[in-house]
């Protein structure tokens, strides 16, 4: 099965990330850049984020340039986003965790877009009311990741459209339908809102520059499926006198059931771990659905050991267990047959449950902070 990776595809099967680097024309996140990030982290008394260390963030565009500008005193801002089509799950927070890390290391602003318009336009059954309601719910999950509220702006497209629209139409005027069709695969059956939408996702790349009245570099951490939008953005923005946005790309968190991208719809839904799940539910899902690389019988497993390359409990630990030594020890014990599949799954449960509980606590607190972070169009007071 070939795996198509684009913003609206349901991604199934194994993804060849090296191939995507070539196909999309991005650059591999190499040793030198990783060392640079590590040395910047050290200056803040922090360590290199394990998602970068382990190659889960694997590709970039213009990261070198962004850091060179930073060195010259030309600080960048971070931009990322979320489409409000459902509840936030563990896969979503993977890029957000590194976005937070970057915010802490570089002390920069984050502009976070929530696209209730996009999901309304692309999901036939979703009403705008529901997408907007979800946007407000999702905003709490964004803050729960721990972004610095003083340096974080969250905006929901339909509530910030007055500010965004003049920029969106300037971008739209530079994007013809032939290009949009080639990049996104639009057909005559797509609604015209869906075709226009990509310009709304470009807007935050320049919004802080427009507001400040000077060009500010932009760095966007995102899962690689969003790249099509920013390939278009990077072509257009220089024509309007702005910098191209830089990017940092991560892999998807594969579903517990096997390779691909975790989803909130379809058959994958039952095995998805939501940020709101309680410990009992997490345990049930992991035990029932996590694809095992263990052997069929305990006897065989003890003798030959398990396969960590296909075992989803282990694969997930590479995302959520930050301690390298601990991870290596688990790998050794599982491959040697000392650890059984059920025991490995229990380790995963014990690793993600505290992450979820912490998230749920912070999400509750976010209800107070959200008022300061959520920006909207100025209301007309007459």
| Residues that bind ligand TRP in the complex, under the rule CB under 6 A | 7, 80-83, 113, 115, 118, 201, 220, 222, 226
Nearer to ligand TRP, 99 or 271 (CB): 99
Q: Output 120 or 222, the one with its CB closest to ligand TRP.
A: 222
Q: With contact defined as beta carbons under 8 Å apart, do 119 and 88 qualify?
A: no
Closest to ligand TRP by CB, 7 vs 294, is 7
Which residue sits closest to ligand TRP, CB atoms considered?
A: 81
Q: Is 88 left (phi over 0), alpha (psi -120 to 50) or beta?
A: beta
Taking the complex as a whole, the smallest distance from the CB of residue 113 to ligand TRP amounts, in Å, to: 4
- Nearby residues of 263 by Cβ (< 8 Å), 6 or more positions away: 10, 255, 269, 272
Q: Which is nearer to ligand TRP, 231 or 333 (CB)?
A: 231
User: Least distance in Å: CB of 322 to ligand TRP?
Assistant: 23
Nearer to ligand TRP, 209 or 292 (CB): 209
Task: Look at the alpha carbons of 337, 340, 341, 345 in this order and tell me if their dihedral is positive or negative.
Answer: negative
Nearer Cβ to ligand TRP, position 87 or 307?
A: 87
Closest separation between CB of residue 307 and ligand TRP, Å?
Answer: 32
Burial 334-373 (b: 16+ CB within 10 A, else e): bbebebbbeebbbbbbebbbebbeebeebbeebeebbeeb
Question: What SS3 state is found at 81?
Answer: strand
Q: Which of 209, 110, 26, 289 is nearest to 17 (CA)?
A: 26
Question: C-beta of 367: minimal distance to ligand TRP in Å?
Answer: 23
Helices 324-335 and 312-320, axial angle in degrees (round to 10): 170
SS (H, E, C) 218-271: EEEEEEHHHHHHHHHHHHHHHHHCCCCCEEEEECCCCCCCCCECCCCCHHHHHH
Least distance to ligand TRP from the beta carbon of 380, Å?
Answer: 27
108 vs 244: CA distance, rounded Å: 18
In the bound state with ligand TRP, the residue whose beta carbon lies nearer, of 83 and 294, is 83
Q: How far is the CB of 134 from ligand TRP (least distance, A)?
A: 12
State in angstroms the smallest separation of the CB of 378 from ligand TRP.
Answer: 22
């Amino acid at each position: 099965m070939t795996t198509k990776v684009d913003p609206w595809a349901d991604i199934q099967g194994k993804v060849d990330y090296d191939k995507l680097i070539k196909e999309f024309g991005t650059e591999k996140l190499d040793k030198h850049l990783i060392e640079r990030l590590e040395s910047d982290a050290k200056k803040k008394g922090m360590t290199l984020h394990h998602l970068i260390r382990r190659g889960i963030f694997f590709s970039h565009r213009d990261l070198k340039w962004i850091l060179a500008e930073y060195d010259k005193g030309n600080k960048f801002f971070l931009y990322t986003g979320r489409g409000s089509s459902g509840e936030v799950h563990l896969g979503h927070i993977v890029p957000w965790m590194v976005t937070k890390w970057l915010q802490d290391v570089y002390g920069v602003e984050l502009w976070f877009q929530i696209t209730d318009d996009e999901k309304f336009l692309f999901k036939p059954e979703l009403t705008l009311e529901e997408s907007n309601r979800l946007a407000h719910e999702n905003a709490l999950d964004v803050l729960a990741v721990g972004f610095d509220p003083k340096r974080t702006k969250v905006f929901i497209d339909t509530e910030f459209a007055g500010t965004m629209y003049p920029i969106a139409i300037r971008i739209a005027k530079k994007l013809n339908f032939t290009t949009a069709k080639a990049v996104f695969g639009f057909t005559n059956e797509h609604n015209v809102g869906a075709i226009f939408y990509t310009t709304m996702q470009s807007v935050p790349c320049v919004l802080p520059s427009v507001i400040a009245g000077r060009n500010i570099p932009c760095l966007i951490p995102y899962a690689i499926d969003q790249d099509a939008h920013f390939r278009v953005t990077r072509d257009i923005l220089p024509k309007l006198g702005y910098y191209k946005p830089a990017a940092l790309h991560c892999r998807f968190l594969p579903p517990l059931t096997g390779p691909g991208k975790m989803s909130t719809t379809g058959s994958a839904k039952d095995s998805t771990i939501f940020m709101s799940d309680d410990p009992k539910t997490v345990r049930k899902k992991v035990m029932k659905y996590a694809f095992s690389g263990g052997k069929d019988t305990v006897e065989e497993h003890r003798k030959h050991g398990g396969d960590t390359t296909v075992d989803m409990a282990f694969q997930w630990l590479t995302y959520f267990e930050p301690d390298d030594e601990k991870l290596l020890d688990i790998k050794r014990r599982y491959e040697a047959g000392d650890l059984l599949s059920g025991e490995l799954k229990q380790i995963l449960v014990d690793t993600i449950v505290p992450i979820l509980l912490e998230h749920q606590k912070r999400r509750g607190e976010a209800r107070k902070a959200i008022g300061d972070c959520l920006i909207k169009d100025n209301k007309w007071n007459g």
